[in-house]
Amino acid sequence: MINAIIVDDEPLAQDILETYLERIPEIELVAKCDNAFEANDVLKREDVDLMFLDINMPQLTGTDFLRGLTDPPVTIFTTAYPNYALDGFELNALDYLVKPISMDRFLQACNRAVEQAELKQRAKALPVQDGGPGYFFVKADKKLVRVNIDEIVYIEGLKDYVIIRLPNDRVITLQTMKSLEEKLPTSDFQRIHRSYIVNLRRIEALQGNMVEVTEKGKITSLPVGKSYRDVLAERIEKLKL
């Protein structure tokens, strides 16, 4: 369950978002705040995972409030002013919803928030797999092929198939990304995109929204999806000197 708060100085806007949230069972509304100062008090006493934040509020704007938080929850801006979108994304907001907000657009943003929260929960639980055999078998080319886990560079999803990329080879198997992800030690592997899982030990560099790995002696760049970016950054940060 994701705990959420609404921060908006307009009671009608609060009521609309609350009504929308009632249709999303994965998210529980724990507080409605009229301004940033009320929200700040709630964040101090409640475990908040998600914040729906208006921008144009009296005394302290939503962007200034978010900028001042040292450990902010996942934030979705809800505002009547589209011209603040750049500021919102520079503050790493998950999404930017312009009023009047439709239910389908709101649901899309919430689904992303739920997905990101699940990823963070998984990251906090690491490491969870140790002492395994260090390999597994998959069916490829009408035979069972052994794959050594530490040799995997990254895994690419392609419709109903996955491509297991090795330093000098590849294995294509009929498999889902989810089922294969469950076989991998989460201490070493990270989902970085809907279509990519990377071996953290094989990352050569991280730049912007891309990671670089070495494949067949050449550098390959892989995209990092927005909903996976924060979890990857947290893990990389722990390895920085």
The CATH architecture annotation of domain 135-237 reads Beta Barrel (2.40)
Higher pLDDT, 83 or 43: 43
Higher pLDDT, 23 or 159: 23
CB 214 within 8 A of CB 167: yes
Taking Cα atoms as reference points, which of 234, 188, 226 lies closest to residue 209? Answer: 226
Kindly report which listed range (22-36, 43-57, 227-241) carries the lowest average pLDDT score: 227-241
Cα–Cα distance for residue pair 118/107, rounded to 1 Å = 16
Q: For residue 135, count other CB atoms closer than 10 A to its CB.
A: 12
Would the pLDDT of 150 be above 50?
yes
Q: What angle do CA 196, 199, 204 make, to 5 degrees?
A: 100
Determine the average pLDDT of the residues in 39-52.
93
Domain ranges of the chain: 2-124, 135-237
Which contiguous run of DSSP H or E holds residue 116?
A: helix 103-124
pLDDT digits (tens, 9 = 90+) for 118-142: 766 655 544 444 556 788 898 998 8
Determine the average pLDDT of the residues in 82-105.
85
Say which residue the tokens 């080319």 belong to.
141
Average pLDDT across the chain, whole number: 88
Please give the pLDDT value at position 127.
46
Angle at which helices 103-124 and 11-21 cross, to 10°: 70
The CATH number corresponding to 2-124 among 3.40.50.2300, 1.10.10.410, 3.30.1330.10, 2.40.10.220 equals 3.40.50.2300
Cα–Cα distance for residue pair 197/199, rounded to 1 Å = 7
Please give the pLDDT value at position 28.
95
**pLDDT band at residue 33, thresholds of 50, 70 and 90?**
very high
pLDDT digits (tens, 9 = 90+) for 197-233: 999 999 999 888 899 998 888 899 999 988 888 888 8
pLDDT digits (tens, 9 = 90+) for 47-89: 899 999 999 999 999 999 999 998 888 899 999 988 877 776 6
